Structure 1
Amino acid sequence: MLTRRLLQLFVGLSLYGVSLALMVRANLGLDPWDVFHQGLSQRLGWSLGTVVNVVGALVLLLWVALRQRPGVGTVANILVLGTVADLTLQLLPPLTSLPLRAVLLVGGIVLNAAATAAYIGARLGPGPRDGLMTGLVKRTGRPVGWIRTSIEVTVLAIGWLLGGSVGLGTLAYALLIGPLVQVLLPLLTVPEERRTVGAVG
């Protein structure tokens, strides 16, 4: 069972990196965190994947104050997402055709939802950014929706000011990602192992 969970974790994280690259090449707007990552990337002159990984590591440091415990999936998230995104961006050239970019956007969002459901469903620890949200919920007592919205509005605004891509894709992601993950997560969640009790007698 652990082997399946690890495999699902790394496949999910890898597909997440691919989905990020697809949305970047669609050039129609990114999700809030990736608007932030892209803006930083442009300002620092680093690759997008490097920024994704470094920001993930820095966010993980905030877990200390929030008394959150990382899992294998948390550390893997930091190492895999940005690396795969950079590799995919090297293989996938920029596109000019709007219909093709629209296809990439839709495909990227759907793949992102499946990847998210896969790595969460592996039950090996949340990503750094998800853990930041849940940690703040525990520490502040605020509703999860309020905390998530506050974080994402903040990083979106900063990313936009830094030059990150905000557009139709940003809105489409916001509207679609929740319902898609909600449908896919039950299908991709690895069930907990049941402990069997031997018969007595």
Structure 2
Amino acid sequence: MSTKLPSRLVRLFAGLALFGVSVALMVRADLGLASWDVLHQGLADRTGLPMGLLVNGVALLVLLLWIPLRQRPGVGTVANVALVGLALDATLALLPPVAPLVGRIGLLVAGVLLNGLATALYLGARLGPGPRDGLMTGLAAHGLPLGPARTAIEVTVLAVGWLLGGAVGPGTLLYAIGIGPIVAWFVPRLTAPAPVPTGVTSPCPA
């Protein structure tokens, strides 16, 4: 795969747009959301603001927490703040609610699979992590164990979102169990090779 910047930008923007679409599919499934999206939906229910707008707003607030952690955002980080919510709101505007349970289950499964694909695409672009991922790595860099820190944040966000009225259900569990293996399968297949530093010649394949 090409290591040129345009190719990586296409990978990045496609991943972020598809991520927003995947969240919209899970919203329309109405069977439970990922922890952060439970929070976003709960905030949307309480404020009346579009969910996508709140996705971007929360991402911006999380990005501000990078400052004391001395984390540096990349192009992908800034694009994440701007694009995911837009794609989410656009998809929700085009995709009406679905009534039959079999259709909702189909949307949920498609949403989780697409979310894993989208995550692998934007991570594979190597242009900077999302705000929430950067928060985790920043905390880890300052001595907090990554696993417990991530679990604590995810559980807290989920609990607050549920109290605000966000959808918690079997989809929440499916996402928690399934997203890791899905991303792990896609990442090695969709990650752009590391850029070769200027002045360094790439070794020829054997």
| TM-score, reference length from structure 2 | 0.94
List gaps (5 residues or longer) in structure 2. none
Q: Is 1:76 matched up with 2:75? A: no
Find the partner of 2:38 among 26, 35, 40. 35
Counterpart of 1:196? 201
Distance 2:195 2:66 in 1: 28
**1:129-140 counterparts in 2 under 5 A?**
129-139=132-142
SS of 2:65's equivalent?
helix
Give the residue type in structure 2 aligned to 1:78.
V
Distance 2:105 2:10 in 1: 31
Distance 1:182 1:130 in 2: 15
Counterpart of 1:142? 144
Distance 1:144 1:189 in 2: 23
Aligned-pair CA distance for 1:136 = 1.0
Counterpart of 1:164? 166
Distance 1:149 1:15 in 2: 25
| Residues 43-73 of structure 1 deviation map (CA, whole Å, 9 limit, x = unaligned) | 1110000000000111101100111000000
Distance 2:190 2:182 in 1: 12
SS of 1:136's equivalent?
helix
SS of 1:59's equivalent?
helix
Counterpart of 1:52? 55
Distance 2:128 2:45 in 1: 30
Matched length = 197
SS of 1:95's equivalent?
coil
Find the partner of 1:11 among 3, 11, 14. 14
| Residues 140-183 of structure 1 deviation map (CA, whole Å, 9 limit, x = unaligned) | x2322111111100100000000000000000000000011111
**1:101-140 counterparts in 2 under 5 A?**
101-139=104-142
Find the partner of 1:173 among 162, 169, 175. 175
Give the residue type in structure 1 aligned to 2:72.
R
**1:20-31 counterparts in 2 under 5 A?**
20-31=23-34
SS of 2:168's equivalent?
coil
List gaps (5 residues or longer) in structure 1. none
Give the residue type in structure 2 aligned to 1:67.
R
Give the residue type in structure 2 aligned to 1:196.
T
Aligned-pair CA distance for 1:138 = 1.2
Give the residue type in structure 2 aligned to 1:13.
L
Identity among equivalent pairs (%): 62
Cα RMSD for the two superposed structures: 1.2
Query: Which of structure 1's runs of 4+ aligned residues deviate more than 6 A?
Result: none
Distance 2:81 2:184 in 1: 24
